[in-house]
C-alpha cells in the first residue's frame, strides 16, 4: 500500500511540474560573432509583432526600451571595442535603446543585472550612447532579431530588425 501511495505521489508531482511549464511568448536567443580576435555575444528575448503596431505605440518613441523582452538584453565583448567614438572595455553590458521615428539611441549600460529597464536610470552607468539611423524594411519582420551584419576582420555592424525597421550600429575592434 505504501508503494502505491508513493507511486501516485511521484506521478502527481511529475504531472504538476510538467503541466506548469509553458513555452515562453518571447523565446530566448544567444548569438555569437568573432571579429578579429574578439568574440561578441548577445543574449536576448525575441518578442513578436502579433498584429500590433510596435514602434510609436507598443514601444513609445523617445523612451528607454530594454531592447527585447523579459530580462534586459546583454552584450559581452571579450576584448576592448569601439562603438561610435567611445571605447568600451571588455565585459558585459546591458543593451538599451531609445527608438524614434528617424533614429535610435543605442545605449551600452554597465549594470547588466536588471530585469527589463532599471528602476532608477543612472547616467553614470552609461558607458556609451550611439545614435543610429532608422532604415525602413519593405516586409514585416514578425520576430525581433539582433544580428551581425557586414562582418570584416576589424569591424561588424550590430543590427536590430523588427516590424518594418532596421537599425545598425558599427563596432570596431583593435586586435
* 3-state secondary structure string across 18-30: HHHCCCCCCCEEE
If DSSP codes are grouped into helix, strand and coil, which group holds residue 166?
Answer: strand
In a domain, 15, yes or no: no
Helix (H, G, I), strand (E, B) or coil at 23: coil
**2 lies in some domain:** no
The answer to whether residue 4 sits within a structural domain is no
Asked whether residue 48 is domain-assigned, the answer is yes
d(CA 115, CA 43): 13
Range of the domain at 47: 28-173
Cα three-residue angle 81-67-162, rounded to 5 degrees: 105
Average pLDDT, the chain: 90
Give domain status of residue 107, yes or no. yes
Pick from 173, 171, 172, 175: which is nearest to 160 by CA? 171
Confidence tier at 15 by pLDDT (50, 70, 90): low
Rounded Cα distance between 19 and 71, Å, is 24
20 lies in some domain: no
- What is the mean predicted confidence (pLDDT) over 82-109? 96
Is 93 a member of any domain? Answer: yes
Between 91 and 12, the more confident residue is 91
Q: What is the mean pLDDT of residues 123-133?
A: 97
Q: How many domains does the chain have?
A: 1
Residue 12 lies in a domain: no
Amino acid at each position: 500500500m505504501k508503494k502505491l501511495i508513493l507511486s501516485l505521489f511521484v506521478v502527481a508531482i511529475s504531472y504538476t511540474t510538467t503541466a506548469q511549464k509553458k513555452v515562453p511568448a518571447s523565446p530566448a536567443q544567444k548569438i555569437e560573432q568573432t571579429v578579429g580576435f574578439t568574440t561578441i555575444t548577445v543574449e536576448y528575448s525575441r518578442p513578436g509583432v502579433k498584429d500590433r503596431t510596435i514602434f510609436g505605440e507598443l514601444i513609445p518613441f523617445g523612451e528607454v526600451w530594454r531592447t527585447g523582452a523579459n530580462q534586459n538584453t546583454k552584450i559581452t565583448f571579450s576584448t576592448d571595442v569601439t562603438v561610435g567614438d567611445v571605447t568600451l572595455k571588455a565585459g558585459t553590458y546591458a543593451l538599451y535603446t531609445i527608438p524614434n521615428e528617424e533614429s535610435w539611441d543605442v545605449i551600452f549600460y554597465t549594470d547588466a543585472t536588471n530585469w527589463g529597464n532599471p528602476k532608477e536610470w543612472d547616467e553614470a552607468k552609461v558607458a556609451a550612447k550611439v545614435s543610429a539611423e532608422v532604415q525602413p524594411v519593405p516586409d514585416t519582420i514578425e520576430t525581433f532579431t539582433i544580428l551581425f551584419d557586414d562582418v570584416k576582420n576589424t569591424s561588424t555592424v550590430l543590427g536590430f530588425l523588427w516590424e518594418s525597421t532596421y537599425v545598425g550600429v558599427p563596432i570596431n575592434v583593435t586586435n
